[in-house]
């Protein structure tokens, strides 16, 4: 029986089934499938499922790597794969970022396994939420559309708010989650307002089309030599929204409290994966969406980068808690990563390549530092900076690893960090203008300030006495040990063979769109 005659209205718009490239979408679909499977297993088996959930989540992430590798393998033949009229793009940039998200998510799950099982935590939900946050990040890496970016942003943020409060009976953890949630919602609201202005001015949500409309006046249609107030406001609001996510000063206030209150694996997750996702969104917006308005985003990025480096480093000097120290050092690192965006309009893809290299190396060394903090806290039960004292005398392996991560974060050759910092510095100075040179000087000065507090942690490890003379060794569970080995190897390889990173991170967004 034909119902269409009875419903004439329904026939007005014909339905065109969107062409879906299943191969390109398979990483997201696999993650979604494993997330649903985790919940299903939890619903069916309840407490009996607990011991398998961490392994299941880890396997899910490793399986997700398979289509990413096959897609990367096909990339030279097929070129970028575009879906939904350009709203969803799988290109080299998105694949390398997806790989970083999935691998750092895998390391976080390795860190979580014993920590979550031994504490008074809910287990199955933890890994389910972790997978959905990683799904949001993986979607973010391909989103080239205002709505997809917003959906991906919420998909990765909302599970993170809950994970930050995962120590259910601890007031500090509740405070951490509440602060993170309130600041996150505030940032979303600002960003949405900016996006609505962008849509109002251009009538488009696809970033490449937004970019095309930003170069002309929305009122007269004439091409613009400088910005109009509404476009300036729109660009600034959207960028400020993501500045909260990457904890760039002056929007960093939530980070230290959230980092120190949340469970340590979750802190590692927020400080690495979640922050990188914010940068991925910023990079896509700047290089694809706002590139025509370099006169707006460049000064803004200059201020954010300079303020983050200076404020983050100066406050980090006075910290007495190692996690808070890492939080402020993370603010300073965010300043470093934002610096190339201040010259992005002039140096183009070189700025992008330097950011992507930095993000890959940053993920390895920061996750490693949190792994050592986690291992040390297993014995000392505290994250105060004194708990690192004399680590060498009872855990020499951890001491060597922590020294590697601290000097890598400081940017001492031949460890990973130097290449990252060098590329950022090179991209900024390459532009050659007065402001770029000033920013380059700030980068150099801040590297020296940062060396002071990173080296003082190393000094405590090697030179000071262990608290109370307690020299019982630390028992490191296999999963934590695996995480440590992975991050140490990555940090060393990135430092000794920088070509191994730059070969993958030499990507472009501007031409490919």
Partner 1 sequence: MSDFLRSYLTVAIFGGVAVALVGVLLGLGSFLRPSRPTATKTMAYESGVDPVGDMWSQSNIRYYVFALMFVLFDVEAVFIFPWAMRLETYGYFGLVEMAIFIFILVLGLAYAWRKGMLKWV
Of the two residues 47 and 468, which places its CB atom closer to partner 1 in the complex? 47
> Considering only residues 4, 225, 226, 503, which one is a binding residue for partner 1 as defined by CB under 8 A?
4
CB closer to partner 1 out of 219 and 511: 219
Q: How far apart are CA 216 and CA 330, in angstroms?
A: 38
CA distance 258 to 254: 6
Q: Which is nearer to partner 1, 41 or 164 (CB)?
A: 41
Judged by CB under 8 A, the stretch of 14-22, 281-289, 385-393, 498-506 that binds partner 1 is: 14-22
Identity of the residue, 40 or 438, whose beta carbon is nearer to partner 1 in the bound complex? 40
Rounded CA-CA distance 312/170 in Å is 27
Site string for partner 1, 65-94 (x = CB under 8 A): ------------------------------
Q: How far is the CB of 274 from partner 1 (least distance, A)?
A: 23
Q: Which positions from 181 to 220 touch partner 1 by CB under 8 A, shown as an x/- string?
A: -------------------x--x--------------xxx
What is the rounded CA–CA span in Å between residue 366 and residue 269? 10
- Extended strands (E) in 3-137: 81-83, 88-90
Task: Estimate to the nearest angstrom the gap between the alpha carbon of 381 and the chain centroid.
Answer: 28
What phi, psi does 309 have (nearest 5°)? -60, -50
Strand partners, 321: 384
Verify binding: residue 10, partner 1, rule CB under 8 A: yes
Distance of closest approach, residue 90 Cβ to partner 1, in angstroms: 21
Question: Residue 5 interacts with partner 1 (CB under 8 A)?
Answer: no
Closest approach of Cβ 154 to partner 1, in Å? 14
Q: How far is the CB of 381 from partner 1 (least distance, A)?
A: 31
CB 122: neighbour CB atoms within 10 A?
12
Tell the smallest beta-carbon distance from residue 12 to partner 1 (Å).
10
Which backbone phi and psi does 4 adopt, to 5 degrees? -65, -30
Q: How far is the CB of 139 from partner 1 (least distance, A)?
A: 15
Picking from 201, 340, 228, the residue whose alpha carbon sits closest to that of residue 293 is 228
Is residue 223 within the footprint of partner 1 (CB under 8 A)? no
Residue 62 touching partner 1 (CB under 8 A): no
The Cα diameter of the chain in Å comes to 87
Q: How far is the CB of 395 from partner 1 (least distance, A)?
A: 40
Compose the 18-47 pattern: x for residues touching partner 1 by CB under 8 A, - for all others.
------------------x--xx-xx--x-
Compute how many other C-beta atoms are within 10 angstroms of the C-beta atom of residue 120.
9
Tell me the closest approach of the beta carbon of residue 148 to partner 1, in angstroms: 17
Q: Is 17 in the site for partner 1 (CB under 8 A)?
A: yes
Total number of residues that touch partner 1 (CB under 8 A): 20
Binding to partner 1 by CB under 8 A, coded x per residue (else -) over 142-181, reads ----------------------------------------
Q: What are phi and psi of 227, to 5 degrees?
A: -75, 160
Least spacing, CB of residue 72 vs partner 1, in Å: 27
- The interface with partner 1 within residues 393-432 (CB under 8 A) comprises none
Does residue number 221 form part of the binding site for partner 1 (CB under 8 A)?
A: yes
Cβ atoms within 10 A of the Cβ of 125, count? 17
- Half-sphere exposure (CA, 13 Å, Cβ side) for 45? 15
Which residue in the block uniquely carries the two structure tokens 């080995």? 485
Least distance to partner 1 from the beta carbon of 303, Å? 31
Q: Which residue, 130, 137, 139, 187, is CA-closest to 159?
A: 130
Among 5, 7, 171, 511, binds partner 1 (CB under 8 A): 7
C-alpha dihedral sign at 42, 43, 45, 46: positive
CB 124 within 8 A of CB 38: yes
DSSP codes, 137-204 = HHHHTTB-BHHHHHHHHHHHHHHHHHHHT-STT-HHHHHHHHHHHHHHHHHHHHHHHHHHHHHHHHS-
Site string for partner 1, 315-354 (x = CB under 8 A): ----------------------------------------
- Taking the complex as a whole, the smallest distance from the CB of residue 162 to partner 1 amounts, in Å, to 13
15 belongs to the binding site for partner 1 (CB under 8 A): yes
The sign one gets for the Cα dihedral 142, 147, 150, 156 is negative
Interacting residue ranges for partner 1, rule: CB under 8 A:
3-4, 7, 10-11, 14-15, 17, 36, 39-40, 42-43, 46, 200, 203, 218-221
């Amino acid at each position: 029986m034909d119902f269409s005659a009875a419903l004439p209205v329904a026939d007005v718009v014909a339905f065109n089934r969107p062409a879906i490239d299943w191969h390109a979408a398979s990483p997201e679909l696999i993650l979604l499938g494993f997330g649903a499977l985790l919940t299903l297993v939890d619903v069916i088996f309840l407490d009996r499922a607990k011991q398998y959930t961490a392994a299941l989540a880890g396997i899910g992430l490793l399986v997700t790597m398979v289509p990413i590798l096959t897609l990367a393998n096909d990339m030279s033949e097929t070129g970028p794969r575009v879906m939904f009229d350009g709203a969803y793009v799988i290109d080299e940039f998105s694949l390398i970022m997806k790989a970083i998200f999935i691998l750092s998510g895998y390391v976080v799950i390795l860190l979580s396994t014993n920590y979550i099982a031994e504490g008074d935590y809910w287990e199955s939900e933890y890994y389910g939420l972790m997978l959905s946050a990683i799904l949001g990040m993986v979607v973010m890496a391909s989103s080239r559309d205002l709505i997809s970016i917003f959906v991906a942003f919420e998909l990765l943020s909302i599970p993170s708010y809950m994970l930050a409060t995962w120590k259910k009976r601890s007031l500090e953890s509740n405070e951490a989650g509440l602060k993170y949630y309130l600041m996150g919602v505030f940032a979303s609201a600002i960003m949405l307002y900016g996006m609505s202005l962008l849509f109002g001015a251009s009538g488009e949500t696809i970033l490449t089309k937004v970019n095309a409309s930003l170069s002309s006046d929305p009122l007269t249609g004439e091409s613009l030599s400088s910005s109009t107030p509404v476009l300036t406001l729109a660009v600034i609001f959207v960028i400020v929204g993501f500045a909260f996510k990457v904890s760039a000063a002056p929007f960093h206030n939530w980070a230290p409290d959230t980092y120190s209150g949340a469970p340590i694996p979750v802190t590692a997750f927020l400080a690495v994966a979640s922050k990188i996702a914010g940068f991925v969104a910023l990079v896509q917006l700047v290089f694809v969406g706002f590139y025509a308005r370099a006169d707006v985003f460049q000064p803004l990025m200059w201020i954010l980068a300079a303020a983050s480096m200076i404020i983050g480093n100066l406050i980090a000097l006075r910290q007495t808690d190692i996690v808070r120290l890492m939080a402020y050092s993370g603010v300073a690192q965010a300043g470093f990563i934002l610096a190339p965006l201040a010259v992005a309009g002039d140096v183009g893809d070189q700025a992008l390549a330097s950011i992507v290299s930095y993000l890959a190396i940053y993920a390895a060394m920061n996750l490693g530092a949190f792994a050592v903090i986690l291992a040390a806290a297993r014995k000392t039960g505290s994250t105060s900076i004194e708990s690192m004292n004399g680590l060498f005398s009872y855990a020499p392996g951890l001491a060597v690893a922590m020294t590697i991560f601290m000097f890598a974060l400081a940017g001492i050759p031949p460890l990973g960090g130097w290449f990252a910092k060098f590329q950022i510095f090179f991209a900024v100075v390459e532009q050659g203008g007065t402001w770029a040179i000033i920013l380059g000087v700030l980068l150099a000065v801040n590297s020296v300030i940062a060396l002071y507090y990173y080296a003082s942690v190393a000094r405590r490890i090697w030179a000071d006495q262990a608290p109370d003379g307690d020299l019982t060794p630390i028992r490191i569970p296999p999963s934590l040990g695996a995480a440590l080995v992975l991050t140490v190897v990555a940090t060393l390889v990135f430092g000794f063979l920088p070509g191994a990173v730059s070969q993958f991170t030499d990507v472009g967004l501007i031409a490919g769109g």
